[in-house]
Structure 1
């Protein structure tokens, strides 16, 4: 009896270009911040393109919420990685990030001329938007991460501590202590089991990525201190920011302020104006790094400085996603790590609360009319639920034409 011969079909692994095009469309249109981005991803890749099912998508979101870094960008990287390997992860990142990064770099290069042409009140409008946006983020994060007596105390003490301690050391210390308090005093509910999927990453590659993450985190400060070269210092500062931001999005504000403003690279006025402008952009909030690298008073600035800052702040996200994805099924059920994350999230709300007071409030609110405009912008965000880009536009135009 003759047995049929099995024919091995050629691989149909998706090409990175299709991933790039899909994410470029979102990079041009996905306004609204990290939470909105996750909704866009759900609709585009789960419901429309059916790259993965809703359970798998929820698992990726859970992983990226657990890791430090920009959560929505990490979900995008994980989607690209699962779809087309490491080339797919790079394609997803570039498509989602480049539109807003390039726009922020252009804004930085035009900042001085724009201020001279339009007047200081237009730029003041960007700072007033920052007050409203950060206040909204505080309210939202506080409801999620500072519930209960213990987590409220962690948030308040973290805010006080970070204002009293040296900036960089204080922020890291707050995160560590908040995590330890979480381990000792808080407890999560057990999570449901997740389904193992092909991640397109070998364990050897994952381990290499995790080793590289920690080597850079420990080694870059030593290298920057030894060489005393601005490009190395710039890369080190933004890499550590990307590696130590829990909660993503607006929590990057206090870390970047300590790195860029207190180092004298960027004026506080330009910092807040750029942060306000970032709210009008689609894509990830971390592209604010491109603005800071481009507008820096040090050399290199411009496009080169923007590229260094952008690569540095997103590199930890790449390494952590590639390193963690194959081990997530095991790590997710570690109760100690989950308890620590409860404390860390409460602590980062405290960091954001401190940043809301200084520099956001102290630099933007100088007179009663400033407070009224900021409150009006906040109401447009919370009550009218207008998109952030429209609130930015309305606030800047109002400030420029009516408060000058």
Structure 2
């Protein structure tokens, strides 16, 4: 299996360039983002293997915060240290954050037939990207009947129990099944199981990050309410939302609604308009916070308010990630943990397959024309090896053409 080992690691500048491209073209929500990451970083650039990538995905599914942004942060950390991690985070987050701030200032994005066709085309591209990821990861992570069965059961869990609970149950079942069913002889294990990703985070640094997370989580509400400063109140509200949500994406919406609508900082209609805009921009859904921080009646508002809200909502998930990475690598050295991770990796394939059907396929494909465009994009990716950005362009133009033909 030595041929699967990936040795190349990028510089911070290269990491920024790669993740900026991903931030500009990663439409379709967190599961689609992970598919884009795999296509660019595992398949094309070979910075990590599919197994290593799936290990990170499994870990980030268990942590509060935006799963796709946490995976990107960790990949940047592995590639170019802390500078690479910050470069990956900034580049992936910046495009959608800027678009959401512009929308908050009154820019009307994606109105009319052309705009709706563009959104439709981008959703169809996400179907092709995720289908490619499921196919590629299934080849590497479910090579036998046992792990293929784990993937099918995980997919059923994710489909029948929608949202984060279904995904967490799928991974837990994968972990348990891996422990009992995916053990291999010591000699085979040494050959097949790759070394953990290198992050350069010491246990002392990890403990410090966990301490900062806990201190902010417990101390911010007291400090914000006692001082009453708008900036602190805004930061605390978004920090608490980011610290309490598992799985990211749409799961954050009830917490944000409670934080800014119930408190009267943002009106219900403003909140819903911003949520609609997040569906039409690339990158992490957590950048919805930039829009809310811009228009909030509490805090400085504008660009500074957007920066506070973004820092608040992303910080807890990144602190927790830095805190657990040293422990994660220690666990992966043990044979029983390697068996557990095999099961978890198979479960990740099942979760991706479930997401491919719902909500990605069901929300994007509404007829034979949409299906044909998706099939074209899939063939371009898998058979013609077209780069994802090229397929994004073709798919978006195809969506516009279908919309214009349908008028």
Give the TM-score normalised by the residue count of structure 1. 0.65
Q: Deviations over 1:281-323 (max 9, x none)?
A: xxxxxx42444434569975983444444434443333333x3
CA distance in 1, matches of 2:43, 2:136: 16
Partner of 1:104: 96
RMSD of equivalent CA atoms? 4.5
CA–CA distance in structure 2, aligned partners of residues 161 and 62 of structure 1: 18
| Alpha-carbon distance in structure 2 between the residues aligned to 1:195 and 1:156 | 27
Q: What is the Cα deviation at residue 334 of structure 1?
A: 0.6
Contact 1:178 1:347 in 2 (8 A): yes
Q: How does 1:318-329 map to 2 (within 5 A)?
A: 318-321=322-325, 323-324=326-327, 328=329
Q: Provide the residue aligned with 2:76 in structure 1.
A: 76
C-alpha distance in 1, partners of 2:44/2:370? 34
Query: What is the alpha-carbon distance in structure 2 between the residues aligned to residue 209 and residue 59 of structure 1?
Result: 27
Closer/same/farther in 2, CA of residues 354 and 364 from structure 1, 3 Å limit: same
Q: Secondary structure at the match of 2:385?
A: coil
1:119 paired residue number: 115
Give, in angstroms, the shift of residue 180 of structure 1.
0.7
Summarize deviations over 1:240-283 as a string: whole Å, max 9, x none: 66xx77xxxxxxxxx52444499877799756544xxx4xxxxx
For the residues of structure 2 that align with 1:349 and 1:257, how far apart are their CA atoms?
A: 21
| Helix, strand or coil at the partner of 1:187 | coil
CA contact (8 A) 2:72 2:88 kept: no
Alpha-carbon separation, structure 2, partners of 1:269 and 1:374? 23
Distance 1:25 1:368, change over 3 A: closer
Listed one character per residue, the Cα deviations across residues 148-207 of structure 1 (whole Å, up to 9, x for unaligned) are 2221221111121222225333222221121011001112432369999x9865543344
The answer to whether the 8 Å contact 1:127/1:272 transfers is no
Correspondence list, 1:295-374, <5 A: 303-304=306-307, 305-321=309-325, 323-324=326-327, 328=329, 331-374=331-374
For residue 72 of structure 1, report the CA deviation from its aligned partner.
5.4
What CA distance in whole angstroms lies between the structure 2 residues aligned with 1:168 and 1:20?
A: 32
Match of 2:166 in 1: 170
Q: Is the CA contact 1:266–1:292 (under 8 Å) kept in the aligned structure 2?
A: no
**Which residue does 2:86 correspond to in 1?**
94
Seen in structure 2, the aligned counterparts of structure 1 residues 381 and 23 have a Cα distance that, compared at 3 Å, is: closer
Residues 23 and 119 from structure 1, CA distance in 2 versus in 1: closer, same or farther, beyond 3 angstroms?
closer
Aligned pairs, number: 333
C-alpha separation in 2, matches of 1:59 and 1:347: 12
Any conservation in 2 of the 1:210–1:319 contact (CA below 8 Å)? yes
Matches of 2:285 and 2:42, distance apart in 1 = 21
Q: CA–CA distance in 2 between the matches of 1:42 and 1:353?
A: 23
Provide the residue aligned with 1:157 in structure 2.
153
Q: Which runs of 5+ in 2 are unaligned?
A: 1-10, 26-35, 61-66, 226-232, 258-270
Q: Provide the C-alpha distance between the structure 1 equivalents of 2:371 and 2:254, rounded to a whole number of angstroms.
A: 24
Decide whether aligned partners of structure 1 residues 20 and 236 sit closer, same or farther in structure 2, where only a CA change above 3 A counts: same
Answer whether contact 1:109 1:294 (CA < 8 A) is retained: yes
Distance change (3 Å), C-alpha of 1:110 and 1:144 = farther
1:98-124 Cα offsets, whole Å, 9 max, x none, are 233211223334567221154311111
TM-score (norm 2): 0.65
Distance 1:239 1:338, change over 3 A: farther
CA contact (8 A) 2:55 2:341 kept: no
**How does 1:153-302 map onto structure 2 within 5 Å?**
153-165=149-161, 167-188=163-184, 189-191=188-190, 202-209=202-209, 235=239, 238-239=242-243, 256-260=249-253, 273-274=280-281, 278=282, 287-294=283-290
Q: Deviations over 1:312-352 (max 9, x none)?
A: 4443333333x34xx84x53331111111111111122222
Q: Spell out, residue by residue over 1:75-133, the C-alpha distance to the aligned partner (whole angstroms, 9 max, x if none).
A: 4214544xxxxxxx1x2222233233211223334567221154311111111111111
* Alignment CA distance shift 1:366-1:28 (3 Å): closer
Q: Name the structure 2 match of 1:389.
A: 389
CA distance in 2, matches of 1:316, 1:100: 19
The 8 Å contact of residues 42 and 50 in structure 2, kept in 1 or not, is answered as: no
